[in-house]
Amino acid sequence: MPIDVARVRAETRAADTVIHLNNAGASLPPAIVMDTVHEQLRADEVFGPYEAQALAEPGLARAYESVADLVGGRAEEVAFFGGATQAWQTALYSLPWKKDDRILASEAEYASSVYAFTFLKNRFGVVTDYVPDDDRGQIDVSALEAAIDDKTRLIALTHIPTYGGLINPAARVGVVAKAAGVLYLLDACQSIGHLRLNVAELGCDLLSGAGRKYLRGPRGTGFLWASARALEQMHPAHADQRSQLWTTTDTFTPADGARRLETFERSVALQLGLGAAARYATALGTSVIEARVCALAAALRGMLAEIPGVTIQDRGERLCGIVTFSVEGFGAEQVRIAMRENHINTWIVGRRMSMRDFATRGIEEVTRASVHYYNTEDELARAAEVVRNLTT
């Protein structure tokens, strides 16, 4: 069934007060998500936080199940974190690195990912090599396959980069990783809640995701899905009484499943909200969400491409809901301000967020307009009109 746009807008409290085209930054949450968070915060106030958490345990169990369902995994394979970067870096830092181990990554990696690779280089002598793009701007899967050697320990891929409409061919990378017996970490920060994802079809061993972006969950939430194969090799980088059971005076037994990667202190309210967001997306249907979001983005690209002086900066064989563009004679901040004056939220992506890709392409910054299923064609036309008015 197609998405009932009027209904989802009615369930989004700010939908009629702002045109929100910054979903790659953080989406407008559905009312049920924030109501779930507020209800638990009120329980903290009334009963006490520990006591309220005890009452919320069934809801927390359901939250793990809901997120697992969204990616085709099992609840025991999911760990919750305070954000996607924390989840991704926990996966990376929990692997047993040694000198001269290799990571193969794409040119589309985000700044925090490259920082983590550099940390491993400085601390352990781990080498990260970046696989070139193909002529469509996505990771060259043939070059990736050729680059794998007996030192390669991990393939790390960003599914959708923060700076453009690219969808990397994650499932094809999964085939290569499986054939080579190399662990595969997929950053699904921008694709969870945006595309239909299934870890078995993707062929990944580890998948990290954000709550606040296309999943429409609360800020301060993220998760990691980890396969049994990956967990066998992982040792928690930050262990405490949640991740380990203190069995004798000097021995510890890891918690079952992916929970061994978590730490004790967390926001119960936010994690319940994350579960509510996962259920909301599942109820709508992730395939239906993907189709509508990608169609809306294609429509916006078409509107913008008709405006003289506008250059669409998106590359890739498949394009997603993120639309990036430049306007001749105008900086991205000028475009963002003009949009904001018309109650339209957009964002700026500068070279510092993706130095490798932008430096190669000679780009300093772009305007990012990221659509979601609750946006309408009229809203997109209004955004395009703001750009047109700038150029005339």
Assign a CATH topology to domain 5-28+285-391: Aspartate Aminotransferase, domain 1 (3.90.1150)
Residue 358: pLDDT band by 50, 70, 90 thresholds? Answer: confident
- Taking residues 324-343, report their average pLDDT: 96
The 10s digit of each residue's pLDDT in 106-120 is 998 988 999 999 999
| pLDDT at site 230 | 97
Q: Between residues 343 and 1, which one has the greater pLDDT?
A: 343
Average pLDDT of the chain?
Answer: 96
Residue 350: pLDDT band by 50, 70, 90 thresholds? Answer: confident
Tally Cβ neighbours within 10 Å of residue 13. 13
Q: Between residues 95 and 241, which one has the greater pLDDT?
A: 95
- Taking residues 147-155, report their average pLDDT: 98
Angle between helices 111-124 and 84-93 (to 10 degrees): 20
pTM, 2 dp: 0.96
330 CB contacts (<8 Å, ≥6 apart)? 390, 391
Query: What are the structure tokens assigned to 197, written together?
Result: 């994802």
In this prediction, what percent of the chain has a pLDDT beyond 90? 89
**What residue spans define the domains of the chain?**
5-28+285-391, 32-283
The answer to whether 372 and 293 have CB atoms below 8 angstroms apart is yes
The 10s digit of each residue's pLDDT in 187-226 is 999 999 999 999 999 999 999 999 999 999 999 999 999 9
Q: Between residues 230 and 236, which one has the greater pLDDT?
A: 230
- Taking residues 1-22, report their average pLDDT: 97
The 10s digit of each residue's pLDDT in 123-138 is 999 999 999 999 999 9
- CATH number for the segment(s) 32-283: 3.40.640.10
Closest among 131, 209, 222, 129 to 172, alpha carbons compared:
131
Residue 174: pLDDT band by 50, 70, 90 thresholds? Answer: very high
Check pLDDT > 80 for residue 41.
yes
Check pLDDT > 90 for residue 373.
yes
The 10s digit of each residue's pLDDT in 60-92 is 999 999 999 999 999 999 999 999 999 999 999
Residue 357: pLDDT band by 50, 70, 90 thresholds? Answer: confident
In b/e form, how buried is each residue of 212-227, taking b as 16+ CB within 10 angstroms? bbbbbbbebbbbbbbb
Phi, psi for 302 (deg, rounded to 5): -65, -40
- Taking residues 339-361, report their average pLDDT: 88
Check pLDDT > 80 for residue 146.
yes
* DSSP code of residue 195: B
Tally Cβ neighbours within 10 Å of residue 351. 18
Phi, psi for 150 (deg, rounded to 5): -75, -5
The 10s digit of each residue's pLDDT in 296-332 is 999 999 999 999 999 999 999 999 999 999 999 999 9
Check pLDDT > 90 for residue 252.
no
